[in-house]
Every structure is written in C-alpha cells, then in structure tokens.
Chains A and B, each alone.
Chain A
Amino acid sequence: MTTTTATPRGFGYRHPRLRLAGLLTAPMAWLVVVYLGSLAALFLTAFWTVDDFTGQLVKTFTMKNFQQVFTNSAYLGSMLRTVSIALLVTLFCLVLALPLAFFMARVARPSWRPLLVAMVLTPLWASYLVKVYAWRAMLQPETGVLAWFLDPLGLSSPGYGYLGIVITLTYLWLPYMILPIYAGLTRLPNSMLDASSDLGATGGRTFRSVVMPIIFPSIVAGSIFTFSLSLGDYITAQIVGGKVTMLGNIVQTTYVTNLPFAAAVATVPVVIVLLYLLAVRRSGALDNL
C-alpha cells in the first residue's frame, strides 16, 4: 500500500468518528457534570444532616430525612396533592389544547397559522410573576374578574386555593401542550381523515381511532412539559394557593436552614417524573418522538 497523501478535505472528513467526538464533547461534558452532577449531589445531600447550631452541613450518612418525608402524613399529603395538581393541570391543558390545536392545524386557513401560533405564544413573552399576579386579581373572591363573570350565573370565584393553583398553572403551561399537538396535527395528512370517514367512521370515531393514536406521541410530549413544570412549581402556590402548598414550597421553606431535608423532598418530584417517563416509555409513545 502506498503512503496516503493529505487531502484538502481536512482531518475531520477522514475521521468522522473523531469529528463527531469533537462536536459532542463540550455539550456532553456540560450535560454530565452540570446536569447529572447536580442531581447526584442533590441525592447525596439528602443523606446528610445539619448542625443544630450553625445550620451548616454535617456529612454523616443518615436516612432520617427520607424517613421524615415518607412517614409524616403532612408530607405524604403534600406529595399526593402536588401530583394530583400536576395531573389535573395536564388534563385541563389537554382538554383545552386539543380543540385549539385542531382548529389551528386543520380548520383555520393555512395562511393564518403563523399568526395563530404567535398568538398562542404571546403569554410566554410576559414575565411569569406578572401572569401569576394577574391571576391573583382574576381569582380574587367577590371582586375578582372571575367572580364578576360567575356571580350572575349563581356561581362564585374559586378563590385562592387548590383550584386557583390548577387554573393558574393550566394557563401558564397551556402553550407547551398546544404546540406539540399542533405540530402533530399539521403532520397528519388530510387523506388519513378522509380514509377513516370513507371506511364508515363518524367524526368521533375517526378522532378516537385515527387522530388520537397518531398524535399520541405529541400529547405525551406536551404532558411531559405540563406535568413536570407543574410538579416543580411553588411560586404559583404561594401567590394564588391561599393555604394550599405544594412540594416545592417545602423545599423553599427548608432549603437554607435544612438543606439535606430539602434535598430529600426535592428528590420526590425527580423520582415521580422519572417514573412518569418510564411509564410513557413502556407505552411506546417515545418511539416516534
């Protein structure tokens, strides 16, 4: 074999694996060190304790924090409440997003779509706190905007509390549900709907048997956003939650004075999201993502 001569294409062209490695090293390092590293640190800290006097960390192994989290009925209740809020928010987002996304993707004129997408995105441009405070005003009992609408109907504003949190979080995360479903629906060919109808299926049946299964991965993608964002939220609970709190509020109350305990609490939503992702993966919904 003769000696190879240098090609003008350069090193990376002849060594695609090295080129790939070069491209991915930095982001992978970032991911591993910062992301997984911080998660590992979180988990590790949950097994430590704090000095009773200075509040400084004491690095001796103890299960005390997890015991406290999982035996105290108050914390277990908070866990259940947080998960139920996240599930309800996801459900509400889904119920609202499906018709909206369907209208945007399949009913509205194609030339309107960019405008509609922009409108869906507008709330994301405003500050999180501004939006939550706006909802505080909306939900205010007796004098709020919701009360103004509902009172003539003989209903009253949900006020500050569980439902207030669910409503506000639904508002906050709705775009994250609409967009993936919209994207999924735009990729659904018209002929697919025609074919179902042609084979004898009514609109409802087509929606159930054809549209839903095809956009299911999009719904799952959206639900991962709404579920995990709701699970980790605590400011909304603080502002419109009245007395009701979520797991994040426990972390917020304790993370400075009792970091290991806060870490143990913070591990819970991480595990719940992981379980959720596992369940989703088993359903096969991630295969097409």
Chain B
Amino acid sequence: MGESVWAMRGSGYCSAIAPSAVHAMMQGVRYTMSEPSVAIRLRGLTRRFGDVVAVDGVDLDVFDGEFLTLLGPSGSGKTTVLRMIAGFERPDDGTIELAGVDVTRVPPYARDVNTVFQDYALFPHMSVLKNIEYGLKVKKVPAAERKTRALAALESVRLGAYGDRAPSQLSGGQRQRVALARALVNRPKVLLLDEPLGALDLKLREQMQVELKEIQREVGITFVFVTHDQDEALTMSDRIAVFNEGNIAQLGTPTEVYEHPATAFVAGFVGTSNLLEGAAAQAVLGRPGTWSVRPEKIRVIEADARPGDGEHAVPGTVREVVYVGMSTRFVVDLAVGGSLMAVQQNSEMSTDLGHLRGQRIQLVWDARHEYQVAD
C-alpha cells in the first residue's frame, strides 16, 4: 500500500494495527506542546426541546488531536452537544468554533467534521466502496483519486476484500468499520462518534475500543466520542467530559475523573458509588461532608486487627460476598450507618470467602485515597 488515506501530516501508515515510530513521535508532539491549539471551542452552548433544557450553557475546549469522550447517562445532553458540533441541531444560544472559525450557523455539509453514527447510517443502495466514496464524490474529487483513497481507507479498516458487498451483507462490526472508513476518508479535522460501539456485543466492543484508539493515534485527528459506558470512556479517552443534566459535571483525564471525582454524581457514574456521608463521615474521618473511596482501595481485615499508619478503619458486617473471577466483591454495612463496597484481588490461592457473610470485619484504606466530593 502506497499512500495513506488519512496521512495527516504527510506521513504514511501501513497498518491500522501496528504501532509505529511515528505514533510515538506524534504523541510526543502532542504532549510536549505547551499550549495545544483548540480544535473545537464551545461557549454557552444551549439547546432546548420545548420546556426541557437538553444542553444548558456548556463551555468546552477540545484540543487538536485529542480523544475526548462525552460521557453521561441518556438524556444528559452529550449526544445533543455532538449533534450541534456536527450541525444537525441548531443551538438556541451560544457559539461553536471549529479551528477558530465560528460555525454556529454553518450547515453540516459545510463543516469540516465527519460523523460515525450509532446505527452506522450506511446507504443501503450503494456498495461498501460507493459508500466510502460518497463524501469524495460530493466534493468532486476526481474519480481515480477517489477510488484510490476509498480502497486505501477500506484496507486500513481491514475490509479490503469487501468493497463490492452491499452493507446488508456485512456483520455489525464490519459495518461499524465501513462507517469509520467512510468518515475518515474525507480527512476531516474532527471526527465525531455517536455511541458507535453501542450495537456490538461485548467481545467485539472491547476489540473495537482498542482498534479505534489505535486508529486515532495513527491519524492523529481529533476524536469526539459519545458514550454512556464508563469503561469505554476510561479505556479510550485522553480526556473525559462527564455530562449530567445538560451540563459538564467534570472535565479531566480518565485518572482524574476516576480517582478524584468532582461530584457525587461523577463518583457514582464513573466506577462504583462508594460514599461516606454526613454522620458516618464525621464518625469515621472526623470531618463532615461527602467522601468517596474507590472499592479497590479498601482492604478487608479481621475485626480485631489493627490498621496501619495513615489508614482509616471502620467496623462493619459483611452483607454480601460476590465472587467475580478476577476479584471478590464485598458489600459491608457499616456500624456507623451506610454501606461501602470493597474489592479484593483473588491473587492468592483463591478460597471461597462465602463464609464471611454475616461476619463482623473491618474496612481499612489509606487516607490519601479518600476524596471529598461536591454534594
């Protein structure tokens, strides 16, 4: 294969899978840049549907080349934001800039973004190759170049032999990749992905998560990815914007969002909600407020064992023990009220811990792992 389809900066890539030195170089470029340029800038973005405010004054900067995920439950406004960036929805208020140009009133076909749809939206009356060529054809790219680029795009999603098939003859995962190729072949500045993996089964979804991330690294263009699946968000993103009720509850790297949830909502939505509140917090930590501790940070020890230095301990009764293969999950009712979950790796010779059910034990964790969250 000679020329790459999405050779953004003059570099060619041969495989969608194999990482290359260029990745590292590009990553290096991205992370060493002191002030990354902004690909998408949203200011005061608002969208109402009747009485419902779907998006309520969102401000967001998406940097060039980053993989940003809009994460949130359904109805949180994340898809509406994406559709406004694409141009399918008009904002009631606020502005959208793409690469510094205000496109708020620009129709979708004139915006330099492309979208991968949840249902793929492949045109049923066109072959796979024609689907991919469509965007180029509309932009009057000469036929020969069109064909070359489309074939290369198809190759890069490992569907080189499927060009003549009808979309209806492909599996879900294959359609998904065609949709991706159809968007990427246009070399957009920004790729928008609207829950593209939602319709796939778990195995395929996990495989595609890895592939998508790799492709994004290769082509180096900005990905804005919408999902309600926290694992997906954590796996793939450079940054995550957690949406709640039309607003961004927290914006940060996966680590930041997971380890330092800014609000109770984020703590609950990303990972398992594990909160100490009110009286319980006062009793255990000696401080009021709402505190979050991730379950895997909590150890289960004997009721009479002594906690280590810098550790907080709280006595409780085991309500439930769930064996989940790699780990065991404990649900513990605290003596001071409320309950916490703890997860232990089954790294040692696994034993059936079911006998602990109803036993009094202690939960301990390093005080550095507790974070106060906004109510």
Q: In the complex, A touching B, CB below 8 Å?
A: yes
Minimum CB distance partner of B140 in chain A = A200
Which of A21-29, A43-51, A186-194 lines the interface with chain B?
Answer: A186-194
User: Contacts A191-B117, A194-B88, A200-B186 given: A214-B108 contact, CB under 8 Å?
Assistant: no
Q: B9 in the interface, Cβ–Cβ < 8 Å?
A: no
Chain B residues 104-124 with CB under 8 Å of chain A are: 107-110, 113-115, 117-119, 121-124
Contact status B115-A195, CB under 8 Å? yes
Q: B12 in the interface, Cβ–Cβ < 8 Å?
A: no
User: Contacts A199-B135, A200-B138 given: A192-B123 contact, CB under 8 Å?
Assistant: yes
Cα A196 to Cα B125 in complex, Å, equals 13
Please give, as numbers and ranges, the residues of chain B lying within 8 Å of A196 by CB-CB distance.
Answer: 123, 134
User: Contacts A200-B186, A201-B138 given: A194-B117 contact, CB under 8 Å?
Assistant: yes
Contacting A199 at CB < 8 Å: which of B83, B88, B114? Answer: B114
Contact status A202-B109, CB under 8 Å? yes
Chain A residues 194-217 with CB under 8 Å of chain B are: 194-202, 205, 209-210, 213-214, 216
Cα A199 to Cα B108 in complex, Å, equals 8
Binary interface encoding of chain B residues 129-142 relative to chain A, with 1 for a CB under 8 A from any of its CBs, else 0: 00000110011000
Binary interface encoding of chain B residues 96-109 relative to chain A, with 1 for a CB under 8 A from any of its CBs, else 0: 00000000000111
User: Contacts A191-B117, A191-B119, A214-B124 given: A198-B86 contact, CB under 8 Å?
Assistant: yes
User: Contacts A194-B115, A195-B117 given: A200-B125 contact, CB under 8 Å?
Assistant: no
User: Contacts A194-B86, A194-B88 given: A200-B121 contact, CB under 8 Å?
Assistant: no
Contacting B108 at CB < 8 Å: which of A192, A198, A205? Answer: A198
Contact status B114-A198, CB under 8 Å? yes
Please give, as numbers and ranges, the residues of chain B lying within 8 Å of A200 by CB-CB distance.
Answer: 109-110, 135, 138-139, 186
Interface size class of A (residues with CB under 8 A): 10 to 19
Binary interface encoding of chain A residues 227-260 relative to chain B, with 1 for a CB under 8 A from any of its CBs, else 0: 0000000000000000000000000000000000
Nearest CB of B to A286, in Å: 14
Minimum CB distance partner of A199 in chain B = B135
User: Contacts A192-B123, A194-B108 given: A199-B134 contact, CB under 8 Å?
Assistant: yes
Cα A213 to Cα B86 in complex, Å, equals 25
Minimum CB distance partner of A195 in chain B = B121
Contact status A191-B123, CB under 8 Å? no
Please give, as numbers and ranges, the residues of chain B lying within 8 Å of A198 by CB-CB distance.
Answer: 86-88, 108-109, 113-115, 183
Cα A189 to Cα B123 in complex, Å, equals 10
Contact status B117-A199, CB under 8 Å? no
Please give, as numbers and ranges, the residues of chain A lying within 8 Å of B125 by CB-CB distance.
Answer: 213-214, 216
Binary interface encoding of chain B residues 73-103 relative to chain A, with 1 for a CB under 8 A from any of its CBs, else 0: 0000000000100111000000000000000
Please give, as numbers and ranges, the residues of chain A lying within 8 Å of B114 by CB-CB distance.
Answer: 198-199
Cα A210 to Cα B126 in complex, Å, equals 9
Cα A200 to Cα B111 in complex, Å, equals 8
Contacting B88 at CB < 8 Å: which of A197, A201, A202, A209? Answer: A197
User: Contacts A194-B88, A198-B108 given: A189-B121 contact, CB under 8 Å?
Assistant: yes
User: Contacts A191-B117, A205-B138, A209-B134 given: A197-B124 contact, CB under 8 Å?
Assistant: no
Please give, as numbers and ranges, the residues of chain B lying within 8 Å of A191 by CB-CB distance.
Answer: 117-119, 121
Nearest CB of A to B188, in Å: 9
Q: B182 in the interface, Cβ–Cβ < 8 Å?
A: yes
User: Contacts A194-B88, A194-B117 given: A201-B123 contact, CB under 8 Å?
Assistant: no
Cα A201 to Cα B137 in complex, Å, equals 9
Cα A216 to Cα B126 in complex, Å, equals 13
Please give, as numbers and ranges, the residues of chain B lying within 8 Å of A205 by CB-CB distance.
Answer: 138
Cα A216 to Cα B113 in complex, Å, equals 30
Please give, as numbers and ranges, the residues of chain A lying within 8 Å of B122 by CB-CB distance.
Answer: 195
Cα A205 to Cα B124 in complex, Å, equals 17
Cα A216 to Cα B135 in complex, Å, equals 22
Cα A213 to Cα B83 in complex, Å, equals 25
Contact status B108-A197, CB under 8 Å? yes
User: Contacts A194-B108, A210-B123, A214-B125 given: A199-B118 contact, CB under 8 Å?
Assistant: no
Contact status B123-A197, CB under 8 Å? no
Contact status B88-A192, CB under 8 Å? no
Nearest CB of B to A110, in Å: 14
Nearest CB of A to B128, in Å: 14
Cα A194 to Cα B86 in complex, Å, equals 9
Contact status B186-A199, CB under 8 Å? yes
Contact status A201-B109, CB under 8 Å? yes
Please give, as numbers and ranges, the residues of chain B lying within 8 Å of A197 by CB-CB distance.
Answer: 87-88, 107-109
Among A189, A197, A198, A216, the one with the most B-chain Cβ atoms within 10 Å of its Cβ is A198
Nearest CB of A to B139, in Å: 5
Please give, as numbers and ranges, the residues of chain A lying within 8 Å of B138 by CB-CB distance.
Answer: 199-201, 205, 209
Please give, as numbers and ranges, the residues of chain B lying within 8 Å of A213 by CB-CB distance.
Answer: 123, 125-126
Nearest CB of A to B150, in Å: 12
Please give, as numbers and ranges, the residues of chain A lying within 8 Å of B118 by CB-CB distance.
Answer: 191
Please give, as numbers and ranges, the residues of chain A lying within 8 Å of B124 by CB-CB distance.
Answer: 214
Please give, as numbers and ranges, the residues of chain B lying within 8 Å of A195 by CB-CB distance.
Answer: 115, 117, 121-123
Cα A1 to Cα B126 in complex, Å, equals 54
Cα A270 to Cα B272 in complex, Å, equals 71
27 A-B pairs whose Cβ atoms sit less than 8 Å apart in the complex: A189-B119, A191-B117, A191-B119, A192-B121, A192-B123, A195-B115, A195-B117, A195-B121, A195-B122, A197-B87, A197-B107, A197-B108, A198-B108, A199-B109, A199-B135, A199-B183, A199-B186, A200-B109, A200-B139, A200-B186, A202-B107, A209-B134, A209-B138, A210-B123, A214-B123, A214-B125, A216-B125
Q: A196-B134, A200-B186 are known; give 7 further A-B pairs, CB within 8 A.
A: A191-B121, A195-B121, A196-B123, A199-B138, A202-B107, A210-B123, A213-B126
User: Which residues of A does B touch, CB under 8 Å?
Assistant: 189, 191-192, 194-202, 205, 209-210, 213-214, 216
